[in-house]
């Protein structure tokens, strides 16, 4: 399967892949909102979030992400099931707000 091979400062950290899901790498910096600078390698499928790496980059860090084929991805550091009831409540609230504004 396709995977993201993640290196930080020349050291291989993880090979992130999901057979039936999405994997992504985020690198963020900014003034607003404050303190959200970060590097994250994560993924998701229909009902679960996966986390391979999360950290704060330092000036001069070298980040390399390669697309590779693998049969043995790294195990995620964290696996969290989605709260479907919470998602349903958010959906209902957002739907009501959009209906109230005449957008749907």
Alpha helices in the chain (DSSP H): 84-100
- Residues 65-94 have pLDDT tens digits of 999 999 999 999 999 998 888 889 999 999
The confidence score (pLDDT) of residue 17 equals 96
- 8 near 56, Cβ under 8 Å? no
Angle at 56 between CA 55 and CA 58, to 5 degrees: 130
Phi, psi of 29 (to 5 degrees): -140, 150
Which comes out higher in pLDDT, residue 9 or 84? 9
């Amino acid at each position: 399967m396709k995977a993201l091979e993640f290196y930080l400062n020349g050291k291989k950290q993880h090979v992130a892949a999901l057979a039936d899901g999405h994997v992504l790498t985020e690198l963020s910096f900014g003034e607003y909102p404050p303190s959200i600078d970060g590097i994250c390698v994560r993924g998701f499928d229909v009902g679960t979030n996966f986390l391979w790496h999360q950290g704060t980059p330092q000036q001069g860090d070298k980040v390399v992400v390669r697309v590779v084929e693998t049969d043995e991805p790294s195990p995620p550091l964290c696996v969290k099931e989605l709260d479907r009831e919470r998602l349903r409540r958010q959906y209902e609230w957002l739907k009501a707000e959009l209906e109230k504004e005449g957008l749907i």
